[in-house]
Every structure is written in C-alpha cells, then in structure tokens.
Chains A and B, each alone.
Chain A
Amino acid sequence: MAEAVPLWKIFAVFAKIGAFTIGGGYAMIPLIQAELGRRGWIPEEELPDIVAISQSAPGVMAVNISIFAGHRLRGLKGSVAATLGSVLPSFLMILLVAAFFTAFRDNPYVERVFLGIRPVVIALIAVPMVRMARRSCRSWWSWTIAVLSLLLVAFLQVSPVWILLCTLVLGFSLTYARQWKR
C-alpha cells in the first residue's frame, strides 16, 4: 500500500467489474485480472491465492474477492466500497427486471416464454454439478456423501443447512483423528 487509493475509485472500478460479470464468479476473474492488475492494486502473483481463498470461504466468490481486494487497498472501508461497487449494478438491474416481471407474469406470452426456459434452467444447474462431481468425487466415500446429501434434501426435504453442518463436523473430526494418529 504505497499511497491511499480513494474510496470512490475503488467503488467505481468494482462497479465496472460487477456490471460486466455475466454468468457468475468465474466470469469475473479475467476482469479482475485486467482491472486490478493493470492498476497495480494487486500483484499478479497474489491473484491465484485470492481466488482460491475466496472460493473456499462461505458466500459468493465475487463478493469475497471484492472484500479481500478492497481490504488490501484500504482496510475495512475499502472492503465496503469494493463490495458495494460490485453488487450495485446487478442489484439495480434485478430490481428493474423484477418490477417488470411481477407486473407481466400473468401475461400469456410471458408464460409461454418461461415454459420453454424452465427445463433449460435445470440443465444449467446440472452442468456445473456434473463438472464439480468429476473434480471432487473421486472415492467411494465422497460419492456416498454426494448421493446421500442429494437423496436427503431432494426426497426427505431435509434442510441443506443440516446436511452441511453434519458433513462439516464429520469431516473435521475424521481429519483431526487421522492427523492425531500420526
């Protein structure tokens, strides 16, 4: 941190990134790289670390990256400015769209459009799931966890929060036990 970057500038740069990120966090990485790297705000070699940490912390990656990068620049104030910036464009956009659709939902044309869209939405959820499964389900026990979680939530209507909590406790204690044995 050589000299203090003005907060409005942090806000503006992240608003720009937020406005052009379509389709989720991964689309944001090249933009972050271009905008922050070019300004020398974040050293290139730190970027992979920031992305990895933002991915594994709770919440949405894009927000986590903003919090982290903002903090590097101006501490807590920087985090707030960056996060507000990256969320505001989509927030306003969604409000506009939501106001529009709430008024037009019962329109028969809109209904027909969405009859076509809904099955495709399910496909769009399934694709990243399969991709993630290929990466993170590599043993019989990881498949068991995945299938059990799916069945419990989809058919027994158990809250995902409980499933995550139980897995967290189980994973933590087993990992701890394994290390302790060594």
Chain B
Amino acid sequence: METLTLLLELALTFFLIGTFTIGGGYAMLSLIQGEVVLKHAWISAGTFADIVAVSQMTPGPVGINTATYVGYDVLVQATGSPWMGIAGSALSTFALMLPSFLIMLLIVRFYRQFKTSTLYAGTMDFLRPCVVGLIGAAAVVLIVHTTWDGCNPTFSLVRDNFPDRKSWVLLGGGYLLARKGVSPIQLILGAGALGLILY
C-alpha cells in the first residue's frame, strides 16, 4: 500500500515537472531538484549530483535520464527491490513525457497560428530569464544549504559535494574547460580520475 502511494506520488510529481519544464533539459533539472530533493526529500543533494553526472554520460536527454534514474533510486530505497525500481523508473519517465504529448498534439494542430502569435512571443520573453534564474538556483542549491530560523538564515556548504578546497578548484577548472567546449563526457571522466587520485 505504501509502495502504491509512493508510485502515485512519483507519477504526479513527474507529470507536474513535465508540464512546467520550459527551456529544455537543464530547466527540467531545476524542477526535478525542487520537487525531489527540496520538497519531498526523496534524494539527497549529493546523490542528485551523482545522478546528473551519470545522466550526462549516457545517451539521451539529460532531463529524461535524470527522471528515469530518480524513479529507480526512490523505489529501490523504499522497497529494496530492483523490480520495483524498474516500475518506478518506467512510471516516472512516462509521467514526465505525458504533458509534452498532450501539448505537442495541440501545437501540431494549430502550429501556424502559434508560430506567428505575438502574445506567445511576448510571454516567452518573460519566461526565458525566469528559466535562467531557475537553472542558476539548481547550481546554487548543490553548493549552499540554507536553513531558516524565523527570519534568520544560516548558510552552510553542502559537504557531500564540497568536502574541501580541492572541490572549488575542480568547479572552476570544470567551468573554464566546459566554456572552451570540452565535452561533458570527457570532463566527467577526467574529474572521476582526479577524484580517485586526490581523495
């Protein structure tokens, strides 16, 4: 029964994420993080970073891969059964794509009106910077954890992701190399090898 509730909750959560993902895979990451790490606390910030890393190295869109992985992980954690994990990942992936399906079918029908609508273009001008902020927040949440005591915030580093100073060097180096166009796969492989040497 508990497992069923969890599956249902997972499906609803990913349906919601699919509906509100505007601006592609990285925007989806910020939504998945908001729902799965912050709201439901199904997964820790450290594990989330691992899942994103794996999703970037495997074929397919990062957002979908992350959803598949999260669905698996949540169910395995809750039940200990890999079969339930498969059910969880299938359900999350399906629920995530369902809104796209419904909306795209509408768009296919009205696609010419849609393309030339200035109302649509104007609204997107507002949504795009919003998505930029959301993606930024996804990165910040992996670095800083904020707790509130009434109106007083306490900031602390996410130790899972930043155990020491070397992490900052990796972050800075990774940023510069990624800007130069080094592929995510090469970067992640390199960083993994460095982790093995440094820690």
Contacts and interface: CB of A to CB of B under 8 A. Distances in A.
Interface of A: 18-25, 28, 49, 52-64, 67-68, 71-72, 76, 79, 83, 86-87, 89-91, 93-95, 97-99, 101-102, 105, 109, 112-130, 132-133, 135-137, 142-143, 145-157, 159-161, 163-165, 167-168, 170-172, 174-176, 178-179
A40 B16 CA distance: 36
A134 to B, nearest CB: 9
Contact of A136 (B90, B93, B129): B129
Contacts of B144: 154-155
A71 to B, nearest CB: 5
B87 to A, nearest CB: 11
B134 interface: yes
B126 A94 contact: no
Contacts of A52: 115
A1 to B, nearest CB: 13
B122 interface: yes
A120 B139 CA distance: 11
Given A59-B104, A168-B126, A172-B122, 6 more contacts: A90-B68, A91-B93, A112-B199, A119-B170, A122-B143, A149-B129
A164 to B, nearest CB: 5
Contacts, number: 385
Interface residues of B, number: 114
A147 B134 CA distance: 9
A93 B60 CA distance: 9
Interface string B20-59: 1111111011110011001100000010011011111111
Contacts of A60: 21, 24-25, 28, 61, 63-64, 97, 100
B100 A58 contact: yes
A112 B193 CA distance: 9
A94 B133 contact: no
A28 B60 CA distance: 9
B137 interface: yes
B86 interface: yes
A115 B162 CA distance: 8
B129 A121 contact: no
Nearest to B169: A119
Contact of B107 (A24, A57, A99, A135): A57
A21 B56 CA distance: 11
Contacts of B142: 118, 121-122, 125
Given A90-B64, A132-B128, A154 B187 contact: no
B53 A170 contact: no
A159 B101 contact: no
Contacts of A135: 128
Contact of B132 (A113, A123, A132, A164): A132
A58 B123 contact: no
Contacts of A68: 104, 107-108
A23 B38 CA distance: 25
Residue picked from A72, A142, A154, A159, most chain B C-beta under 10 Å = A154
Interface in B84-139: 85-86, 89-90, 93, 96-97, 99-101, 103-105, 107-108, 111, 114-115, 118-120, 122-139
